Amino acid sequence: MQNRAEVVEQNFIRRVTSGDLPQALSSTSPKQAGLSSAESIALFETQVLSRVLDLHSRRLQARGESFYTIGSSGHEGNAAIAAAFRHNDMAFLHYRDAAFMIQRSKQLPGQTITWDLLLSFAASSEDPIAGGRHKVLGSKSLFIPPQTSTIASHLPKAVGAAYSIGLNRRIGQTGEMPDDAVVLCSFGDASLNHSTAQGAMNTSCWTAYQRIPLPLLWICEDNGIGISVRTPMGWVESSMKHRPGMNYLRCDGLNFADVYAKAREAERLVRKRRQPAFLHMSCVRLMGHAGSDAQQAYLSMKEIEAHEAQDPLLHSARILMENGLLSSTDITSLYQSTSERVAKVAEVAIQRPKLLAAKAVMESLTPPKRLNQPSLPPVSEDTRERVFSRERSQMGTPQHTARLINWALTDLMLDHPEIILAGEDVGRKGGVYGVTQKLQEKFGAHRVIDTLLDEQSIFGLGIGMAHNRLLPIVEIQFLAYVHNAEDQLRGEAATLSFFSQGQFTNPMVVRIAGLAYQKGFGGHFHNDNSFNVFRDIPGLIVACPSNGADAISMLREAVRLAHEEQRVVVFLEPIALYMTRDLHEEGDAQWTFPYKTSEEAPAIPFGQVNKWGDGKDLAIVTYGNGFYLSRQASKALEEAGVRLRIIDLRWLLPLPKEAMLEAIEGCKHVLVVDECRRTGSVSEEIMTLLMESGWDRSKVARLCAEDSFIPLGRSATSTLPSRDSITDAAKDLLGHMLLAKAE
């Protein structure tokens, strides 16, 4: 079968030369759209460059010099959308939007868009956005965060970014975007069906329905097919046209003038009314889904040729010729000169350096630290006294963990006016466990936001706000609920620095109530004893305090990591320890702690472990509930003559390896206590580390939860480590030593 890319190119030259151009599907002319002759020609030049880059990428791939060929051919009408908006309107783009990016680059002097895109195709380390890590459309100066191809995963954060514009104004903060900016987000018709897209659409309508400003333009580029699956005729319009709070517009993506006219109308709606709009652009897909896609397997030749006959460049050529702006000779000369220029530039681009070493690839996993941050004036004692007035009488006495976290959040929000707390039930209710109680009353509904029930939207709100210089602390109500939205962390939040060489970041703290040992709850929702979902996400930090004193200082460090080092931090709070007061017996109050200010108790440094005791017979390595239970077990073990120490890891990702090894140095035995399930748990990594560090296998053991969900009722803790099972496991490990002591 003939190469369809070659056919598309040959058809364009032949049909323009012969004047055999497709009939108009819409009648909007450049003049009617408000486009000058120069502007119309400039749009066509953009479309031609986008097409030529697509074609040349495939030629380079055949030579082993290009590595990603999802192209923009058929979607070039989106160049007119770019022309209708400002370069500092943040745009989260569909991967078929090269023409949009090319056109936007014309708004800012000094851009080298052809060179930049070819470096990206060649996966060169000099690619200005991803540095050769992926072929992405992105530019810091053009306000285009890089997007990869996870289906619809960029839509939730577009809602958050749009919401943040008005929020910054309401709370008196200066954002990355101007106060009158808007956010654009484009995607394909097939992606619209993804639950992530549907959740984001619903959130935008839910927000606008309440008359909350949300300057967001959704752009659905409808080519009628998702890889091989057809989109039912009329489906997009029927499903989106009458959504509450949404303004629906439709344009002919084959007519750049019609696209521009409708985009200008959408721009006025979104910018002036601060309301979301949905721009439905019909288009075609040429040359299949990607370079490896054999579309003849699911489309007939008649269908393929019908799509090619509606090539938007042919429609653009007709419009220009009908309006006397360019002749057929002008058009073919422009195309050929563009093709020659791209070919020459490409030969240089493919020679540029590539990423070859793992260290170089991984350099951008960790965002750069913020430099020269303006210091905020200290909070006055009068302000702090007023905010804490009702709690002042309690603050001198030891308190349980939930209350201490609440006070730590209060102090942090006083110190950082850019902190926004958001999540389901965090405001008026104060959270399921009261951890955020009264914070909305103290700081207002703009800074403590009750979200709708959708974890993808909660994460998206946080990621989007972080794009605009806010510092979100978002709450996921239970650990198991993360699974509804884990790709927002994996595919969006944690990858942004990696794919932008640290130019874009979304620093945030994610508070999650989780782990097991809750009384009265069962199943896998409220008692989820596995955080393994986070452990394979490069660049992510996971913190887990076991007590209130640590929770205060670790939360301060988590905020510092987000604020100064631009990190994404998961702060995992053991639910069962929120209200725990006693350690060994009722009324001993050994698990309550006084509240200390940041001056009295500085942040616990990232990676610092806690060591309780100095015994050398046994080191118990644990975290969270395991530290509490091990402390309970220590009483019986010490009575049996065991001299022990207990190591609370605190920081679970990345594992503080050196600090842990240093803390157990000099011990004869190590018992790893892991409340999470045996398979895939952090204890596997710890055991591997111990073996690699030369420990005798007979001197090391681990005690984990069973590979089971948590049951209800009296059997709720039957699958989990306990005080008694820790005691027994320690005695089994020590075996002969204890016998010798007894004798």
End-to-end CA distance of the chain: 87
Q: Which residues contact 617 (CB under 8 A, 6 or more apart)?
A: 642, 643, 644, 667, 668, 669, 734, 737
Task: Give the domain ranges of the chain.
Answer: 4-362, 381-577, 610-742
Instruction: Quote the pTM value.
Output: 0.95
**DSSP per residue over 452-520, as a string?**
-S-HHHHHHHHHHHHTTT-EEEEEESSGGGGGGTHHIIIIIITTHHHHHTTSS---EEEEEEE-S--TT
Average pLDDT over residues 21-27: 94
How many Å apart are CA 364 and CA 373, to the nearest integer?
Answer: 21
pLDDT digits (tens, 9 = 90+) for 241-256: 999 999 999 999 999 9
Helix (H) or strand (E) holding 611: strand 610-612
Q: Which amino acid is at 293?
A: D
CB atoms within 10 A of CB 671: 25
CB atoms within 10 A of CB 108: 13
**DSSP per residue over 289-344, as a string?**
SSTT--GGGTS-HHHHHHHHHT-HHHHHHHHHHHTTS--HHHHHHHHHHHHHHHHH
Q: How many CA atoms lie within 13 A of 615 on its CB side?
A: 18
Q: Is the dihedral of CA 221, 227, 233, 239 positive or negative?
A: negative
Dihedral angle, C-alpha 93, 98, 102, 107, nearest 10 °: -10
- The CATH number that domain 610-742 falls under is 3.40.50.920
Q: Can you read off the two tokens belonging to residue 169?
A: 């104004």
Domains 381-577 and 610-742 agree in fold: yes
pLDDT score recorded for residue 500: 97
Average pLDDT over residues 583-591: 96
Q: Is 354 helix (H, G, I), strand (E, B) or coil?
A: strand
CB atoms within 10 A of CB 603: 17
- Report whether pLDDT(1) > 70: no
Q: Is the dihedral of CA 256, 257, 260, 262 positive or negative?
A: negative
Whole-number Cα distances in Å, 78 to 23, 97, 235, 256, 288: 20, 7, 21, 8, 18
Work out the pLDDT band at 374, boundaries 50, 70, 90: confident
How many Å apart are CA 685 and CA 667, to the nearest integer?
Answer: 19
Contact 146, 481 (CB under 8 A): no
How many distinct helices (H) and strands (E) make up the chain?
A: 27, 21
Looking at CATH, the fold of the domain delimited by 4-362 is given as Rossmann fold (3.40.50)
Least confident segment among 33-42, 161-170, 459-468, 519-528: 519-528
- Report whether pLDDT(213) > 60: yes
Q: Which residues contact 709 (CB under 8 A, 6 or more apart)?
A: 523, 524
Among candidate residues 499, 492, 491, 437, the one with its CA nearest the CA of residue 466: 492
Q: What backbone torsions phi and psi does residue 92 show, to the nearest 5 degrees?
A: -100, 110
pLDDT score recorded for residue 372: 78
pLDDT digits (tens, 9 = 90+) for 592-634: 999 999 889 888 999 999 999 999 999 999 999 999 999 999 9
| Mean pLDDT of the residues in the chain | 95
What residue ranges in 101-195 does DSSP mark as E strands?
Answer: 137-139, 144-147, 183-188
Superfamily of domain 381-577 in the CATH hierarchy: Thiamin diphosphate (ThDP)-binding fold, Pyr/PP domains (3.40.50.970)
Least confident segment among 140-144, 520-524, 550-554, 642-646: 520-524
How many Å apart are CA 339 and CA 341, to the nearest integer?
Answer: 5
pLDDT score recorded for residue 2: 67
